[in-house]
Structure 1
Amino acid sequence: MSQAPSSQETDAASGRQENADELRQRLQAYGERLVAGVDGVFHFPIRHHSPACALHLKYALEELKPAAIVVEMPADFEPLVPLLLHPETEPPAAIVSVMDRDSQDRFTPAVVGYWPISASAPEWVALKAAAETGATLHLADLPSGTRLASQGDAEEDNGETPRLAPRVLADDQSITYSDYARGLVRRIGARDYNEVWDRLFEARLGDGDWRSFFADVGRDCLLCRETTSARQIVEDGTIAREKMMRSVLAKAKEKAGERPVAAIFGGFHTPALVDPSQRSKTTDDTLRTKTKSAARSYVVRYTEAALDRLNGYASGMPSPRHYARLFTMAEGDGLSSKDVASRLAVETFLDLSEALRRKETALPPALPSLREAVRHAEALATLRDLPGPGRFEILDAARSCLLKDEDLIYGSPVLETLHELMTGSGVGTVPKEAGAPPLLAAARKRAEALRFTIEDPSVRTRELDIHRKPRHRAASRFAHAMALLSTGFATLKRGPDFSAANGMKPILFEVWSYAWLPSVEARLAALAATGDTLEAACVFVLRDAITSLEDTGRGDDSEAAVFLLGDAAKAGVLSHAADIVPHLTRALTKDAEFSRLVRTLTRLEGLWRGRRVLGLERTAALGPLLETAYRRALDLIPMLAEAGEDAMASNSRALADLYHLTERFTIDARTEGPSAGENKSGALAAPRLDPVVLEERLRALAAAVPGGPLSGVLAAIGYLSGWRSERDVADAIRQGFDATTLSPDERCGPFAGALAVSSVLLRRSEEVLAVVDDFLARSSEDAFVSILPALRKTLSVLNPDEVDALAEQIATLKSSSSPLDLEMNGLDERELLGNIERANALTKLMEARGLGNWVHAGIEPETGK
C-alpha cells in the first residue's frame, strides 16, 4: 500500500487535520469497504488500460458472478456493445463520437470524442464477462453528446477558434497529475507517476488477491481525489457525471435485488459513489450542458500507436503493446508476477535484436550483451523490491547494456526501436456491420470509384496520366487530398513539380505507391470532427495551418502560404478554401525577405503554368497573386544594397531567378498579344509583369553596389539586357577573385552570380573565360587549394553537356595536340598509343602551369633495381 506524501492530511469532508494514525485507519476502513460488498455492491476502482486492474477484475467477476455490472462508459454507447462483443472485434478498437457544432459554416469542425479500448482495458474484461455470465450491463456515464457539448461551449465561451483536438472520454489525468501523485513521485524517487503505478500495482499482476489489490488501488485514488481542488472537480464536469453514475448504480442495485452488483469506475470517481461526504456541495447546475445534444457514434479499428498517442501518460498506460503482452501472458499461462515479468523481459530483448537486424540501422546486440541486459533488468527489479523487471527496468537495462558509443543527442537506433516495439504496431479489427464515420465512408467510396484497391492492404503502384485523362486527374486529386490529411494512404514517387516554372514539361505522369491500411482508417476516424467529406476535412486542415502560422508569428511567411495554396490546388479544394488567397495576399504585402519572396513568385508561376492539369484555368486569383508578389519583389530590390553578407548569396540567386521569370512572362505576353483579361479561348491571360520597372531597379542597384557578390549577377543581367558590356561582367568577376581579404565563397560570389544568370556565359564569353584562366594561372598551389571548394560549388550549375563543351574549348585554347577524348570503349593499340601521347602532353601542360606536384604525388621514384 502506498504511503501519503505527508504525515498529516486534510479531511476533504470536514476540513480538520488528522494525524498519521487516523489517516491510516480511515484508509484501511475505506479499502475494506470497497471489496466487502456493502449493500450488495462491490466497488472496483480502476485505471484505464491497466493489465493488473483487468486481470484482478477478471478473477473477481469469475468468483462473484454478479447479477449486474455497472461500467463507467457513456450511456449512449449501449447500442454499440453488441458490435464490441462481436466475434470479429479484436482490440485495439475505439468508439468515436461526433457532435456537429451549431454553425452556419459547413466547414466548421464538429466536436469529436474517443473511447479507446485496448486488450488490457478493465472495461473490455467487464463487457466480455457480462456477455458470458448473463449479467445485466449498465453504462453509467453521461451521454457522449452531453460531454462534447459542454466542452464545445467552454471553447466558444473562451473565444477559442475550433481546432482539431479530439477529446478522450476515458481519462486518468486527475489521478496521474494530482498533488498526491506528484508528492509520491518525489518520495519514491521515480521519474513520473507511471513508474510509481508500475511499482505499486502492475508488479502485483499475478498475485491473485483481488480484494487486497482493489482495496489498495482505492486508497491510492482516494488520496489523489482529496488532494485535487474542488474547483477543478467542478470545472471539468465531474459533478454532473457522478450524479449520473450514482443514479445508474442505484437502478442496477434495485434490479439486482439481493444479488451482487459490480461497480467498475475510474478510481477517482469511486469515493463519490461510496461515501456521500465525498460529494461536492456545489450544485449540479454549475455545469451548463446541452443535455439533449446527440452525437453520432461508431466502432472503428484502432492502432496501438494511436492508442499510445491519445492515452499515453496522461490518460492511460504508455507503451500499450508492452502492457497488452503482459496481460496476455498472465491471463493465458497463469504464471506468477515474477515469471511473467522475467519472460516478457527476455522476449522483449530478443525481439529488439531481431528488429534491429531487419532494420539494418544498427548492429544487433551480441548474445552476451542481451544476456547482460536481462541480468541487469532482473538486478534492477531486485534493487527496487519488485518481483520482476517491468517497463522501466527494461528501458534502463537497455540504456546501460546495449548502447555502445552512441551520442544520445542525435538519437539512438536501439532505444528508438525498443520504444517502437513496446508501443506496438498492432491493428484491431471490427465487423463490417460497425459502419464508419461519414468521412471514412466517403473516402472509401471515392477510392473505390477511382479504382484504388482498398480491400487488400498490400502496397500497390498506380501510374496516372494526369494530362490526358480526367479520371486520372481526379485520382491524383484524391491521392493529394489524402496526403494533405496525413493519412499515409499514398506516396508520390514521381510526378511534375508544380513549384518550378518548367515543372510540367519533363514529366507527364504521376506514379504513386499506395496501401489502404488500418492506420489510414484510424486517421480518417480521428478527422471525423472536421466534416463529413474530404473537401471539408482538407479545408479545416488548411485553415488550421493558417491559424498556426499566424499564432507563431509567421503570418508574413509567403513561402509557407504558397505551399498551402499549392496543396489546396493539387487536392482540388482551392475553390472551397476561401481563407488561403487572402492569407497569401497579406503575407505577400508584409514579407520583407527578398529571396523567400522570389521563391514564392516562382512557385506561383509553377501553379500558373500547371493550371490546366490542376483545374485552375478559370481561377482568377492566380494572376493578381503573381502581380502582387512581383510588385513586392521590385519594391525590395533597393534594400538589397543594405543586406548582410550572409544573405548575399541567396539574394544573388533570387535576382537571377527574378530576371528569368520576367523574361518568360514577357515572351508569353508577346505571344498572346496586347489584350488583357481573357484570351480567345476563354482562359485567363498571362499576368503582366513590367520588365521596364525591373530594369530601372536593377540599374539603380548596380550603381549603389559597384562591387561585391551582387555585382556579378547585376553585370550578367545587364549584359543580356543590353545595358552592360561583356567586359563589365569580366571585371566584376576579376574584382571578386582579387579580393584576397574575403572568404573563398565571397570571392567566388560575383562569378557564381554571373553563372546563375547564364550558365553558358563561361563558355561563350572569351573575356570571362580569360579572367578565370588568368586567375587560375597566377594562383599558388595553396591559394588554389583554399578556393577549390568554392569554385567547385560555383561550377556545379553546369550540366554534363556544358562541362564537356567547356572542356573541349579549354583543350583548344591550350593548344593541346589532340582533343581530350575520354571515350574508353573498344580501345585498340593505335588508340592506346594515342591516349598515352595525350597523357604525356597533359602532364607537361600541368607541369608548365605549376601543378607538377599534383601529377607526381604518391609516385615513388625508380631506384634502378
Structure 2
Amino acid sequence: MSADTAADTAAGTGTGTAEGTGAGPSTGPTLLGVRHHGPGSARAVAAALARLRPDVVLIEGPPEADGIVALAGEKDMVPPVALLAHAVDDPAKAAFWPFAAFSPEWVAIRYAVERDIPVRFVDLPAAQSLALAEAPDEDGAEASDGDGGPRPPSDPIGALAAAAGHDDAERWWEDVVEHRAPGADALAPFAAVAEAMAALREQGGNSHRDELREAYMRQQIRAARRAGYGRIAVVCGAWHVPALAAMPTVAHDRALLAGLPKKVKTEITWVPWTHRRLSQHTGYGAGIDSPGWYHHLFTSTDEEPLARWLTRAAELLRAEDHPVSSAHVIEAVRLAGTLAAVRGRPLAGLTETLDAVRSVLCDGSDLTLALVHDRLVVGDALGEVPESAPVVPLQRDLARLQRSLRLRPEAHERELELDLRKELDTARSLLLHRLRLLGIAWGTPSRSAVNSTGTFRESWRLRWDPEFAVRIVEAAQWGTTVEDAATGKAVETALTTRELPELTGLAERCLLAGLPGALPPVMRVLADRAALDTDVAQLAGALPALVRALRYGDVRGTDAGALDGVARGLAERICVGLPPACTGLDADGATAMRAHLDAVHAAVALLEHGPGTLESPESPESPEPLADRWAGTLRALARREPSAGPATGVPGLLRGRAVRLLLDDGRLDSGEAGRRMGLVLSTANAPADAAGWVEGFLSGGGALLLHDPRLLGLLDEWLTGVSGDAFTDVLPLLRRTFSELEAGVRRTVGERVAGGPLGVVTAPVTATALDPVRADAVLPVLTLLLGLPAPTTGRIPRQPDRRSAP
C-alpha cells in the first residue's frame, strides 16, 4: 500500500493546536483526526463540534467543491454520495471523494451547512491532484520519504493494534472506537490517538505526496486565521494531525508547493454513490469491509442495535424462504453476547454477530451467511443527488429518459423482461442499447434476441455502477442527448475500426439501438471495407451479424434495406472464395473454418427465407438464387478430396460437414450420402481423414444413424477394419465425435452395435423379445387402471374388436 493510501486509511482520532500555541479550542485551530468512513469517528466529531461551536469548519477535500458544498444540506441529497472531479479536456482523468452517512467529513459538512457556518475544503486542489497523478512518484520504487527515510506503515490500524497487544486490527478498532460512546470530554479521544499517530510517523516516515498535501492544508489553515476566524475546526485523516499541529514556516511550505505540476482545467459535481463501492479502495483509499453494518450502527437510535440488525437479517432470510422465527432472533442475540463475553470484548461486534447468524439463523450454512453478508453487511444502498447539482447536458437527458421510461437506477442487480411489440419496452430497449454503445453497461443482455430464435423479447440484467458518472462525462463529447451521443460514438468507432466482423457487429448494434443517423455512414465504411477485404474467413465472420441485424427491420420499425445489399454481396463473395480458402488447412484451421461454414449456412437460409429480411430480386450477375449458389459451393467442397496429400484438398472435417448440410437441406438424398460415406471409409483413404469426415458428418446430430441403418452399418464395417496402429490415431477424433451426440442416441447406437455385426442393414432392427415374467408383474396395476376384472390366467382378458362388429 502506498503512503498516500496508508495516510487515508489510518485509524485514529487526535487533536492539537497549530502554530505550537498549546492553547485551547477557542484560541487556535482544533485538529480532529478521523478514520474516513468510521461511525465511531463520526459520533466523536459530532460531539466535538457541538462543544467547540466553531466559526469555520475546514475539511480534507478538493477546494473546487466549496461552491457546491451547500447542496449537502438539501433534502434531496441522500448519502452515500461522492464528489466527482474530472479534467475538462480528458474526462477519463477523474477522481472521487465518497461520503456516507457515517463518514466524519459528512457529519462535519452537515453540521456547518445546517447552522450556516462557513465550510471549506483544504486538501490539494483536484486540478493539481489529477496532474500530480500523472507525474512520476518522486519516492520511487522504495516509497520512502524524499530524504531516503523509512517507509510509512502500510497499515496504521494494525500497527496500533499490535502495540496494544491485539492480533486483529479491525476487532481492536471496534472495541476502542466504534463501540465507544462520546464521554464528558469530547476532545479527549482525539488527543489520545494523535499521540499514537505522532509516534507512528516518527517510525514510519512520510511520502512526498503527503508532504505536498499537508503543506497545502497548513496554508489553508493560515488563510482561515488571517480571515479572522477564531474557533477553527479541522477535520482530516488522523495520519495528517501531527504534520498540521507542528507547523513549519510559511517559506518552507511555499518551497514544497513550488514543485507542483501545472493545474489541469477541472470541473466538479456531486454524484450518487453506493455502499458496495465504499467497500472498495477508491477515493480516499479508505475502503471498508462492512459499510452496511457501519450504517446501521451509526443510524440506530435505540439501545439495542444488535437485536434490530438480527431482526433485519431474519426478515431477509424469511423473504428467501428460510425458516427463521422470532425465537431464532432471541437465541442469536444471546449467543452473540455470550461470544463477546467469552472473547473479552465490551460488546458483540460484527465477528460475534456473524458467528451467531451462521449458527442460529443459517443452520451452519456458509452459503446462506453469504447472502446476509452481501445484503446487510455490505449492502446495496444507492445515494441521491438533487437536480440542482451541476451536470453535463447528457446526464440531464439520461435522467429525463430514466424518469419517463420508469427505469430507476438501482445498486442491486435485477432482471428486466421486455416485449418489443410494446412501445414502452421498445423505448427501454433502445435506451439500454444506446448506453452500451457509449460504454455504459447499465444493462447486460441475458437472453438477447441476437442469440435466440425470437425477435420480440429481450431479457436484461440491470445494475447501476456509480462510476458510470465518469462514462457519462466522457460520452458528452459526442452529443448532448443519449441518441446524439450514441450516434457520434458509432460513427467515430466505424472510422477507426479495421476488422470487418467488428464493423458488421457495429452495424447490428446501431440497428438494435435505433440510430438512423449513424447507420448510413457506418454502412458506407462497411461497404468500402467489404469491397477491399479478400480474407474469406473475415467475410464469413462478418456475414452472420449482418443477417441477424436484418431481423430487426420489422420488429423495431427501422429500415434495414442498406444491410440487405451488403449482406448479399458478402454471401456471393463467400460462395466464390470458400472452396479455395478451405484447401490445405491444418486441424486447427479446419475446426475454425467449420464454425464459419455452419454460421454462413444459417445466415444464407435466413437471408433467403428468414423473417424481417427484404425480398430483393436477384441481380443480372446472379442468374440463380443465392441458396442454389451456396448449395453449389457445398457440393464443390464435398468433391475436393486430397489426391496427393492433405495439402492438395479440403480436410475431411469440412467435406463431411458439407455433405451433412446438403443432406439436411434435402439437396442430397440418403442414398447418395451413404455412397459418399462408403467411398470415404474405403481402405484407399487415410484413417485420420476418414475420421475427420465422420466428425463433420455427425456434428449436426447423430440421430440419422438410427433412421438410416445403412449409414451405421458402413461406419461399423469401416471401424472394425481399421488397423491397430491407425485405430490409436483416430480414437480421439471418434471419442470427441460421439461424445457430442445426445445421450439417447449414443445409448441406442451402442445397443444396436452390441446386437452383432450390422453389415449393410436394409430393414429396421426389431424390438427385443418379450419377457413374460416382467410383463406379468404389471398386470394388477394395469387391470386396476383399466377397470377390468382380475385376470385368472395371468393375462389381461382380450377385449372384443368392436371395429368388426356389424
TM-score interval, normalised by the smaller of the two chains: 0.5 to 0.7
Q: Specify the SS of the correspondent of 2:127.
A: helix
| Cα distance change of structure 1 residues 45 and 691 upon mapping to structure 2, 3 Å threshold | same
Partner of 1:551: none
| C-alpha distance in 1 between matches for 2:570 and 2:694 | 33
| Cα distance change of structure 1 residues 708 and 88 upon mapping to structure 2, 3 Å threshold | closer
Q: Could you tell me how far 1:487 is from its partner in structure 2? A: 6.4
Unaligned residue ranges in structure 1 (runs of 5+): 1-25, 102-107, 158-173, 336-342, 547-554, 677-684, 776-786, 797-811, 816-844
| Cα distance change of structure 1 residues 713 and 484 upon mapping to structure 2, 3 Å threshold | same
Q: Could you tell me how far 1:90 is from its partner in structure 2? A: 2.7
Partners of 2:417 and 2:458 within 8 A in 1: yes
| Correspondence 1:284 to 2:257 | yes
Alignment of 1:463-474 (within 5 A): 463-465=419-421
Q: Could you tell me how far 1:290 is from its partner in structure 2? A: 1.1
Amino acid at match of 1:348: W
Aligned to 1:98, which of 86, 89, 95?
Answer: 86
Aligned to 1:413, which of 351, 365, 368?
Answer: 368
| C-alpha distance in 2 between matches for 1:854 and 1:525 | 75
Partner of 2:292: 321
Q: Could you tell me how far 1:85 is from its partner in structure 2? A: 0.7
Partners of 2:547 and 2:606 within 8 A in 1: no
Partner of 2:191: 215
Moved more, 214-223 or 528-537: 528-537
Amino acid at match of 1:571: A
Alignment of 1:574-585 (within 5 A): none
Per-residue displacement from partner, 1:255-287 (whole Å, max 9, x unpaired)? 445x42211112222222111369889722322
Q: Specify the SS of the correspondent of 2:33.
A: strand
Partners of 1:176 and 1:193 within 8 A in 2: no
Amino acid at match of 1:352: A
Alignment of 1:491-506 (within 5 A): 496-497=449-450
Aligned to 1:673, which of 607, 611, 619?
Answer: 619
Q: Could you tell me how far 1:242 is from its partner in structure 2? A: 2.7
| Correspondence 1:846 to 2:767 | yes
Amino acid at match of 1:67: D
Partners of 2:31 and 2:235 within 8 A in 1: yes
| C-alpha distance in 1 between matches for 2:112 and 2:468 | 32
Q: Specify the SS of the correspondent of 1:378.
A: helix
| Cα distance change of structure 1 residues 651 and 391 upon mapping to structure 2, 3 Å threshold | farther
| Cα distance change of structure 1 residues 50 and 69 upon mapping to structure 2, 3 Å threshold | same
Q: Specify the SS of the correspondent of 1:439.
A: helix
| Cα distance change of structure 1 residues 283 and 732 upon mapping to structure 2, 3 Å threshold | farther
| Cα distance change of structure 1 residues 718 and 488 upon mapping to structure 2, 3 Å threshold | closer
Partner of 1:427: 382
| C-alpha distance in 2 between matches for 1:396 and 1:629 | 64
Partner of 1:480: 433
Partners of 1:95 and 1:116 within 8 A in 2: yes
Q: Could you tell me how far 1:570 is from its partner in structure 2? A: 2.4
| C-alpha distance in 2 between matches for 1:309 and 1:590 | 48
Partners of 1:141 and 1:245 within 8 A in 2: yes
Q: Specify the SS of the correspondent of 1:433.
A: coil
Q: Could you tell me how far 1:100 is from its partner in structure 2? A: 1.5
| Cα distance change of structure 1 residues 73 and 255 upon mapping to structure 2, 3 Å threshold | same
Q: Could you tell me how far 1:43 is from its partner in structure 2? A: 0.9
| Correspondence 1:377 to 2:321 | no
Give the TM-score normalised by structure 2. 0.67
| Cα distance change of structure 1 residues 760 and 558 upon mapping to structure 2, 3 Å threshold | farther
Give the TM-score normalised by structure 1. 0.63
Aligned to 1:570, which of 486, 505, 512?
Answer: 512
Aligned to 2:469, which of 506, 521, 525?
Answer: 525
Amino acid at match of 1:531: A
Q: Could you tell me how far 1:326 is from its partner in structure 2? A: 0.7
Aligned to 2:345, which of 374, 386, 390?
Answer: 386
| Correspondence 1:47 to 2:2 | no
Amino acid at match of 2:47: Y
| Cα distance change of structure 1 residues 735 and 192 upon mapping to structure 2, 3 Å threshold | farther
| Cα distance change of structure 1 residues 641 and 132 upon mapping to structure 2, 3 Å threshold | closer
| Correspondence 1:248 to 2:205 | no
Per-residue displacement from partner, 1:550-581 (whole Å, max 9, x unpaired)? xxxxx999989976764455235766998998
| Cα distance change of structure 1 residues 661 and 298 upon mapping to structure 2, 3 Å threshold | closer
Partners of 1:138 and 1:248 within 8 A in 2: no
Partner of 1:113: 95
Partners of 1:710 and 1:753 within 8 A in 2: yes
| Cα distance change of structure 1 residues 36 and 730 upon mapping to structure 2, 3 Å threshold | same
| C-alpha distance in 1 between matches for 2:427 and 2:541 | 28
| Cα distance change of structure 1 residues 177 and 758 upon mapping to structure 2, 3 Å threshold | same
Aligned to 1:197, which of 170, 173, 176?
Answer: 173
Per-residue displacement from partner, 1:393-445 (whole Å, max 9, x unpaired)? 33344456666575x6xxx2321332321222333344333354433212134
| Cα distance change of structure 1 residues 641 and 242 upon mapping to structure 2, 3 Å threshold | closer
Per-residue displacement from partner, 1:287-335 (whole Å, max 9, x unpaired)? 20316x241x333443333443464994243322211111122xx45x5
Per-residue displacement from partner, 1:89-112 (whole Å, max 9, x unpaired)? 3322233333322xxxxxx64433
Partner of 2:672: 725
Per-residue displacement from partner, 1:520-540 (whole Å, max 9, x unpaired)? 594642423323253687699
Fraction of identical pairs, as percent: 22
Amino acid at match of 1:606: R
Partner of 1:233: 208
Q: Could you tell me how far 1:753 is from its partner in structure 2? A: 4.9
Q: Specify the SS of the correspondent of 2:110.
A: helix
Amino acid at match of 2:369: V
Unaligned residue ranges in structure 2 (runs of 5+): 1-13, 139-149, 719-736, 747-761, 781-790, 795-806
| Correspondence 1:265 to 2:265 | no
Partners of 2:112 and 2:118 within 8 A in 1: yes
| C-alpha distance in 1 between matches for 2:654 and 2:236 | 71
RMSD (CA atoms): 6.1
Partners of 2:128 and 2:263 within 8 A in 1: yes
| C-alpha distance in 2 between matches for 1:639 and 1:109 | 50
Q: Specify the SS of the correspondent of 1:482.
A: helix
| C-alpha distance in 2 between matches for 1:66 and 1:696 | 89
Partners of 1:49 and 1:118 within 8 A in 2: yes
Q: Specify the SS of the correspondent of 2:85.
A: strand
| C-alpha distance in 2 between matches for 1:192 and 1:561 | 55
Aligned to 1:395, which of 346, 354, 358?
Answer: 354
Partners of 1:627 and 1:687 within 8 A in 2: no
Per-residue displacement from partner, 1:330-389 (whole Å, max 9, x unpaired)? xx45x5xxxxxxx333333332222122124xx345667655544443344345543112
Partners of 1:71 and 1:265 within 8 A in 2: yes
